[in-house]
């Protein structure tokens, strides 16, 4: 392990981890980059000033590639051979200045000390680039944890892509993106980042945040913050559909049977997750989908992906308030896909529920939790009997339904539905109206009226319904 000198250039990636892409609400088709100046480099133990007059100093734990051999027009297969080592990095940035240079990020992310690196470099020959772990702590609390098995774009591909136009020289650094969990640090905070291979570690890259005292001059863009910048800085999704508390209450005011009828009227006939039982059938489930996909068991794949901090555990740890973890287990009931410890972890994280078309271990203990879990049946075996944890936050199939990250999941004693976000408002409004009609019809039937002309309502009954509704 060796320390790192100041690089000739620093190239940083915008989005590269699936968990971060899901959090941002978009998955890039190709990598995109920005430059950071060499003067932004700092060592472990440095104190970083949050610039005076700013509010949102964001931190992003990352893995940094150190280029060891000149790379120009290399192939993705040969890209890793031009890397001499990897180290921990923290891609700090001031969101207050993003409006002035969003995309280039020069002022917002290029300040002195905004790129701590180190403390040690792991030689490339000693690590598997697809099996590195990245962790970030804020004041001692683990806030980011992911592995390079979750990358959208592998390290060799990044080197090859950049080298098509830019000569990468020995000592240059490539920051390879941050996973979900990046957020904001304030004066007095301590942020630590570590990269390890299981056998070797960079050690913790430590940065202490201090309050700056020198104000900005009036000859450049001044700090400016709005609610969207706050949402971006603290890790919220980009603008789009939001499952508000009010909308959730409206969804839960109607049954899934009614929601299903309204979806069917709009041509959506395959949005129910079938064959499942709830551990809490009297509890409504409403939330946004986070997804986990299992592959069929294969010895070599399980050896590489099944142990340690695998995709299943990362998916559980990435859950937040209101999330529903939906698992694709191919309808395989011959082993468990979640047990009591991980279900408890999901509950502690604030998740709204768990949905799996596979088995559940420790069913009695899982049923005793407050969090509802929809499952295909109990089984005592661990997942390694039939499954390899593989992907998180990708489109999956569960119980015969397609589920995308961010879809709205609605469940009750009748079953579970997947509702595309852009249809939610329309479907819920129509479902509420439908249930009003059905309440009126039920009252008339209870009073002795015949169903002919009433169900569905003819012109006479529609008039009486209008009068009934006006009195409510």
Sequential DSSP letters for 338-353 = --HHHHHHHHHTT--E
Q: Which residue has the higher pLDDT, 352 or 469?
A: 352
Q: Dihedral sign, CA of 423, 261, 255, 359?
A: negative
pLDDT at position 216 is: 87
| Confidence label for 238 from pLDDT (cuts 50, 70 and 90) | very low
pLDDT at position 471 is: 85
| Confidence label for 3 from pLDDT (cuts 50, 70 and 90) | low
pLDDT at position 314 is: 86
Task: Supply 30's token pair.
Answer: 């190709």
pLDDT of 102 higher than 50: yes
Torsion of CA 52, 56, 62, 67, to 10 degrees: -40
Task: Supply 198's token pair.
Answer: 């299981």
Q: Which residues are annotated as a binding site?
A: 339-342, 361-362
| Average pLDDT of the segment spanning 341-370 | 96
| Average pLDDT of the segment spanning 189-195 | 97
| Average pLDDT of the segment spanning 302-331 | 91
pLDDT of 108 higher than 90: yes
| Average pLDDT of the segment spanning 152-164 | 96
Neighbour count for residue 115 (Cβ, 10 Å): 27
% pLDDT > 90, the chain: 79
Q: Say if residues 85 and 7 touch (Cβ distance below 8 Å).
A: no
pLDDT at position 1 is: 43
pLDDT in tens, 7-57: 999 999 999 998 888 777 778 888 999 999 999 999 999 999 999 999 999
Q: Kindly report the CATH class assigned to 271-419.
A: alpha beta
Which ranges of 174-244 does DSSP label H, i.e. alpha helix?
227-233
Neighbour count for residue 445 (Cβ, 10 Å): 13
Q: Which residues are annotated as a binding site for substrate?
A: 339-342, 361
Report in angstroms the alpha-carbon separations of 460 from 237, 453, 455, 456, 466. 49, 8, 12, 11, 10
Which ranges of 137-271 does DSSP label H, i.e. alpha helix?
155-163, 227-233, 245-251, 256-265
- The upper half-sphere exposure of residue 302, i.e. CA atoms within 13 Å in the direction of its Cβ, equals 13
Distance from C-alpha of 177 to C-alpha of 63, rounded to nearest angstrom:
7
pTM, whole model, 2 decimals?
A: 0.57
pLDDT at position 6 is: 85
pLDDT at position 79 is: 97
Q: Dihedral sign, CA of 209, 215, 221, 223?
A: positive
pLDDT at position 34 is: 95
| Average pLDDT of the segment spanning 284-312 | 93
Q: Which residues are annotated as a binding site for Mg(2+)?
A: 362
Distance from C-alpha of 444 to C-alpha of 461, rounded to nearest angstrom:
10
Task: Supply 251's token pair.
Answer: 């969804």
| Average pLDDT of the segment spanning 374-401 | 94
Q: Say if residues 369 and 344 touch (Cβ distance below 8 Å).
A: yes
Strand partners, 190: 208
Average pLDDT, the chain: 92
Q: Which fold has domain 10-233?
A: Fumarylacetoacetate hydrolase; domain 2 (3.90.850)
pLDDT in tens, 248-291: 999 999 999 999 999 999 999 999 999 999 999 999 999 999 99
Q: Say if residues 412 and 284 touch (Cβ distance below 8 Å).
A: yes
pLDDT at position 358 is: 97
Type and span of the H or E element at 23:
helix 18-24
Nearest to 344 by CA among 326, 362, 322: 362
Distance from C-alpha of 457 to C-alpha of 290, rounded to nearest angstrom:
41
pLDDT at position 4 is: 67
Cα 104 from chain centroid (whole Å): 25
Residue bearing tokens 């509420």: 432
**DSSP per-residue codes, 314-339:** HHHHT--TTEEEEEE-TT--SSBS--
pLDDT of 103 higher than 80: no
Distance from C-alpha of 260 to C-alpha of 355, rounded to nearest angstrom:
18
Task: Supply 129's token pair.
Answer: 């680039």
* Burial degree of 330 (CB within 10 A; 0-12, 13-18, 19+): middle
Q: Say if residues 428 and 252 touch (Cβ distance below 8 Å).
A: no
Spans of all domains in the chain: 10-233, 271-419
Task: Say which DSSP state 69 is in.
Answer: S
pLDDT at position 91 is: 98
* Burial degree of 134 (CB within 10 A; 0-12, 13-18, 19+): buried
């Amino acid at each position: 392990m060796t320390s790192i000198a100041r690089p000739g250039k620093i190239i940083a990636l915008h989005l590269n981890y699936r968990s971060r892409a899901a959090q941002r609400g978009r998955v890039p088709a190709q990598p995109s980059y920005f430059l950071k100046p060499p003067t932004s480099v700092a060592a472990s133990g440095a104190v970083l000033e949050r610039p005076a007059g700013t509010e949102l100093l964001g931190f992003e734990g990352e893995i940094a590639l150190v280029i060891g051999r000149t790379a120009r027009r290399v192939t993705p297969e040969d890209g890793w051979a031009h890397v001499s080592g990897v180290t921990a990095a923290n891609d700090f940035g001031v969101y207050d200045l993003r409006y002035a240079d969003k995309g280039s990020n020069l002022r917002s992310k290029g300040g002195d000390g905004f790129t701590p690196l180190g403390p040690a470099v792991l030689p490339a020959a000693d690590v598997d680039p697809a099996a590195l772990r990245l962790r970030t702590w804020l004041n001692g609390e683990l806030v980011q944890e992911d592995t390079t098995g979750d990358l959208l774009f592998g390290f060799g591909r990044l080197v090859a892509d950049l080298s098509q136009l830019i000569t990468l020289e020995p000592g240059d650094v490539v920051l390879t993106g941050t996973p979900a969990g990046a957020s904001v640090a304030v004066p007095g905070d301590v942020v630590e980042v570590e990269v390890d291979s299981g056998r070797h570690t960079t050690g913790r890259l430590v940065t202490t945040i201090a309050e700056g005292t020198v104000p900005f001059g009036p000859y450049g863009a001044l700090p400016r913050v709005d609610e969207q910048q706050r949402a971006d800085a603290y890790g919220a999704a980009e603008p789009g559909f939001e499952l508000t508390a009010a909308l959730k209450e409206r969804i839960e005011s109607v049954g899934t049977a009614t929601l299903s009828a309204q979806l069917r009227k709009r041509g959506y006939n395959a949005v129910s997750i079938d064959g499942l039982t709830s551990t809490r059938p009297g509890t409504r489930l409403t939330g946004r989908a986070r997804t986990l996909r299992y592959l069929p068991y294969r010895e070599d794949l399980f050896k590489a992906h099944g142990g340690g901090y695998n995709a299943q555990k990362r998916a559980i740890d990435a859950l937040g308030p209101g999330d529903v973890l939906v698992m694709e287990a191919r309808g395989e009931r011959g082993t468990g896909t979640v047990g009591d410890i991980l279900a408890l972890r999901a509950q502690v994280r604030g998740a709204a529920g768990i949905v799996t078309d596979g088995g559940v271990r420790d069913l009695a203990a899982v049923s005793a939790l407050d969090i509802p879990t929809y499952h295909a049946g109990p089984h005592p075996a661990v997942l390694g009997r039939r499954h390899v944890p593989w992907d998180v936050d990708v489109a999956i199939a569960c119980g015969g339904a397609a589920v995308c990250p961010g879809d709205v999941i609605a469940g009750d004693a009748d079953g579970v539905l997947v509702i595309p976000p852009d249809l939610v408002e329309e479907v819920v409004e129509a479902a509420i109206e439908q249930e009003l009609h059905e309440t009126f019809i039920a009252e008339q039937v209870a009073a002795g009226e015949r169903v002919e002309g009433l169900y569905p309502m003819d012109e006479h009954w529609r008039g009486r319904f209008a009068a009934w509704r006006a009195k409510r």
